[in-house]
Structure 1
Amino acid sequence: MRKFLTVTAVVLVALGMLVVVADRVGAHYAEREIAARVSARMQEQGITSTPPEVEIQGFPFLTQVAAGRYTQIDITMRDLKGGTLPLPLLSVAAQDVEAPLSQLMDGTARPVAARVDGTATVSYASLVEASGLTGITLSSAGPNTVRVTGKVPIIGEVTGTAEVTVVDGGRVRLRATSLKGAAGSVSQAIIDAYKDRLAVTLSLPKLPFHLELKDVQTESTGLVVSFTAKDVELA
């Protein structure tokens, strides 16, 4: 009896491992197919980035296949170029995706996500470069606020703050709210003139999945840009 139970346990463990392996193999196949279709769609739309990376979340995967609905599919794109503010990394989470495996296999699938959320982080150095200004450094100073420091022509050392906001047309606005130079360095009129230069509107690269700019937040790592869209055909 003990030997029978031992054999049964070994068989069950082996079957369990086979199920897990089959589950992961199916997931990797679907990930490759979706990545290829997303890449083709991006090329059709003239979106410039490295090939997308796809990861299907949730376990077991096979139950999602049976239902033809995937809880979440994560898509990562790097080096999105275009506009005046490139995105080095765009992370996208597609929720409630309908994409039957049979359609993925025969090439007829058009995965549709009920909701898509995206985030990208832009370094402050990249933000300064995109603004066309030189000699200044930006760092986080609170919600939607950055600290401005640096040394600029004529004025010399400057310190101040600037706000970062979303403006119409899906663009990012950087605008100085305060600026001062070293005591007695130059007149306030000259400082104010330079402050006016610290007001730039930056456009983003062309985005996939009909993503729309929703919010910007200033974090210690850089400017975190958020996007969203609903009822999106992924490929």
Structure 2
Amino acid sequence: MGEVYGTQQRPRKRRGRRLLITLIVFLVLLGAVLVGLDRFAASYAERMISDRVAEQVADQQATSEKPDVTIEGVPFLTQVLDGRYQEIHIQLPHFSGPAGNGRTLRTDLLDVRATDVDAPLDTLRSGNGDIVAGAVTGTGTIDYAQVAELINQPGLKLAEQNGKLVGSAPVQALGQTFDVSGAATVAVKDNVVQIRFSDVTAAGLPDVPIVKNLIASYVQKLAVDLTVPELPLNLKVQKVEPQPDGLRFTAGATNVPLNTGGL
């Protein structure tokens, strides 16, 4: 009886192992299908957002290469069902736009991040209701060669030094050429970047009224107001900081509608 019992158990064990292997293979395949479906859905949404951003850039008389959009956080479909998205990352390479007085401002990359995005599933299905980003931030850098070009003073060179914008340029006075230098304040007011130089000095510069007036006149020519081009997603420039590679601006907006003109 013992031998018969052992003979009956072996096929059951083999069948059990085959069933377990089949289940594991099925789960792996199901996981692969779900991952593929998740990535397909995310890619479709990213393309749609990219197209909308490109349309808005064109409407604002600005230009850029095709926006590169990434919906952060996985899985994507879980975020869809929940109606909340962690972050949408939008990169606009070579963004440029009008800066007033026939001038153009350019940045190699306008980097935008929309966080805390509320997009209820019913709104996505019906098209009724609002899709809102709780906060949007954008950053970009304007290189110093471009800023000097916009100020339009011969020989002007700009750089960052100890966190400040500094400039130097040759100035003719009393039949001589002096290299003057000074620091500038950089401020933002109503989406306009204001650059103002002060404390301009030069080694060997004569301390006489005519020279002082000449330098004061030159300093006034260095003052410039740069209107920041209209940015996507209602972004407004909040801060400008001198960095080694240029003036880095930070823009922001809150409670931005993404389906009613904000995007």
TM-score range relative to shorter protein: 0.7 to 0.9
SS in 1 for 2:98: coil
Equivalent of 2:180 in 137, 141, 158: 158
1:71-103, CA deviations, whole angstroms, 9 ceiling, x for partnerless residues? 111122232211145132221111122335676
Task: Return the alpha-carbon distance in structure 1 between the equivalents of residues 248 and 237 of structure 2.
Answer: 11
1:164-197, CA deviations, whole angstroms, 9 ceiling, x for partnerless residues? 1112x21111111222224147833322321222
Indicate the structure with greater helix content: 2
How many positions carry a matched residue from both structures?
232
Q: State the structure with bigger RCO (CA 8 A, min sep 6), 1 or 2.
A: 1
| TM-score (norm. length: structure 1) | 0.85
Task: Return the alpha-carbon distance in structure 2 between the equivalents of residues 231 and 165 of structure 1.
Answer: 25
Whose radius of gyration is greater, 1 or 2?
2
Moved more, 105-114 or 151-160: 105-114
Indicate the residue corresponding to 1:188 in structure 2: 212
CA RMSD of aligned residues (A): 2.6
SS in 2 for 1:176: strand
Does the aligned pair in 2 maintain the 1:30–1:101 contact within 8 Å?
no
| TM-score (norm. length: structure 2) | 0.77
Indicate the residue corresponding to 2:168 in structure 1: 149
- Superposition map of 1:1-235 within 5 A: 4-44=19-59, 46-50=60-64, 51-77=66-92, 78-83=94-99, 84=103, 86-88=105-107, 89-99=109-119, 111-143=131-163, 145-154=164-173, 155-167=177-189, 169-184=190-205, 187-234=211-258, 235=263
Shift in Å, 1:47: 3.9
SS in 2 for 1:49: coil
SS in 1 for 2:251: strand
Does the aligned pair in 2 maintain the 1:170–1:212 contact within 8 Å?
yes
Task: Return the alpha-carbon distance in structure 1 between the equivalents of residues 150 and 162 of structure 2.
Answer: 21
Shift in Å, 1:152: 4.2
Q: Which runs of 5+ in 2 are unaligned?
A: 1-15
SS in 1 for 2:26: helix
